[in-house]
Amino acid sequence: MGIRKYKPTSPGRRFQSASDHKDITSDSPHKGLTKPVNRTGGRNNTGRVTSWQRGGGNKRTLRVIDFKRDKVGIPATVKTIEYDPNRSARIALVNYKDGEFRYIIAPEGLNVGDVVMSGPLAEIKPGNALPIKEIPLGAMIHNIELKVGGGAKLIRSAGTSAQIVAREGEYAQIKMPSGEVRLVMTTCMATIGQVSNVQHENISYGKAGRNRYLGKRPHVRGVAMNPVDHPLGGGEGKASGGRPACTPWGVPEGIKTRHNKRTDIFIVKRRSK
């Protein structure tokens, strides 16, 4: 996958870039594995906006992804590599030997015609899913479960991967892309390899409209508001705020918001000092 840059035919095109989509082999999804997406526009069940700057955007169809990889010991052939509008990574349509079709997150290097399998006896190669206790130390992995049989929760976005740095007893130490080291049970499943679409982070949207396509609405600075709307608002002329950055409700930015002490014991090393 590469980056395609445009000629500066307009101000919006000048710094714009996009994926060249050369790795994609199919334009339409498998109909049996799609669902409609219910859009909320950031509103809760009473109609109030609880998540700001959301709404609009192009219509999408949800692709049902197999995060559990629970068809143990049955080989599957990769039929297509596809674009998914709901995630940054590419997805792969695989056809199992018993005839069933499923979508999986496509790792880097997976091609049409390759055979993937899940289970403790699977080979150590990109796309195969195994329990962490069967994966050698130092291997790059993604799609990591936090609970046995609960489906992958970690390392699912484009270009990411984690590494197994140690194993002791029933837990393994996994080094995350952020630098955090976390304990995960060795019986949890993980997939070999790095997530596809590595160049995703290098794409430049070039204009505000491309954010609108994604359903992201404009974000207004607090200092540009009136005092009734934000603690940083108001002032004669262009005021800079006069206090540390905060939310519209006065909560300072940058303070820790994690209060889940129940899982603190599983974090060996924090991502920040």
With 70 as the cut, is the pLDDT of residue 267 above it? yes
- Region of residue 206 (left: phi > 0; alpha: psi -120 to 50; beta: else): left
Query: Is pLDDT larger for residue 258 or for residue 70?
Result: 70
pLDDT per residue as tens digits for the range 101-146: 999 999 999 999 999 999 999 999 999 999 999 999 999 999 999 9
Q: What is the pLDDT averaged over residues 30-48?
A: 95
Residues above pLDDT 70, as percent of the chain = 99
Any idea where the domains of the chain sit in the sequence?
Answer: 3-201, 226-264
Q: For the domain with range 3-201, which CATH number is right: 2.40.50.140, 3.40.50.620, 1.20.1540.10, 3.20.20.70?
A: 2.40.50.140
With 70 as the cut, is the pLDDT of residue 273 above it? no
Q: What's the Rg (C-alpha) of the chain?
A: 22
With 70 as the cut, is the pLDDT of residue 66 above it? yes
Q: How confident is the model at residue 50 (pLDDT cuts 50, 70, 90)?
A: very high
